[in-house]
């Protein structure tokens, strides 16, 4: 019995060692650290193999886009606040509610189109193959925003 138990312990230890070895070979500590720190820029540079010049050009583009982004943000908030105000009142005609909802959807669509345009500009600054990969990875997420993505971004550190 003693030998049997010793064998079981050693076999389990060997399995754990194999797990650790395979995990270390296949994991990406740098990516892990970036994810924990929420360092998207580091990820962008590394994921798409960008050099300093490309990264600087992309950062400049991002900074320019940030102004446009804040305008979109402001317009979306205005439309949503108007809709919420309407929804909190009673006996509001359906047509007014529909108009307000359409307004929110329209402003969000404008924002979505602007993001797509921005992503294409960023992709154009990358090596062609990386640019295509960048768009293939991110464009579907722009469309999926409402369904799966951003709202729970940092809830699971």
Partner 1 sequence: MNNEEHKVRQALAEWRLEPEADPGFRSRVWRRIDRAVDSETWLVYVRRNAASVALALGLALVAGGWFGRVYAQQQVKRDRDRLAWDYLASIDARYQADQLMKR
Positions that interact with partner 1 (CB under 8 A): 1-4, 6-7, 11-12, 14-28, 31-32, 34-35, 38-41, 43-44, 47, 62, 65-66, 69-73, 76-77, 80-81, 108, 111-112, 114-115, 118, 137-138, 141-142, 145, 149-151, 153
CB of 131 to partner 1, least distance (A): 15
Burial of 126 (0-12, 13-18, 19+ CB in 10 A): buried
Contact 49, 127 (CB under 8 A): yes
Nearer to partner 1, 93 or 151 (CB): 151
Burial of 48 (0-12, 13-18, 19+ CB in 10 A): buried
CB of 128 to partner 1, least distance (A): 20
């Amino acid at each position: 019995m003693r030998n049997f138990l010793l064998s079981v312990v050693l076999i389990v230890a060997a399995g754990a060692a194999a797990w650790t070895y395979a995990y270390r070979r296949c994991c990406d500590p740098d990516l892990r650290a970036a994810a924990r720190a929420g360092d998207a820029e580091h990820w962008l540079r590394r994921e798409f193999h960008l050099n300093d010049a490309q990264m600087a050009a992309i950062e400049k583009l991002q900074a320019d886009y940030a102004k446009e982004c804040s305008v979109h943000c402001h317009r979306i908030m205005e439309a949503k606040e108007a809709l919420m105000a309407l929804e909190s009142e009673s006996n509001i005609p359906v047509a007014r509610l529909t108009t307000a909802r359409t307004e929110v959807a329209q402003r969000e669509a404008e924002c979505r189109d602007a993001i797509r345009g921005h992503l294409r500009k960023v992709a154009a600054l990358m090596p062609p193959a990386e640019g295509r990969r960048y768009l293939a990875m991110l464009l579907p997420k722009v469309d999926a925003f409402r369904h799966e993505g951003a709202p729970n971004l940092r809830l699971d550190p």
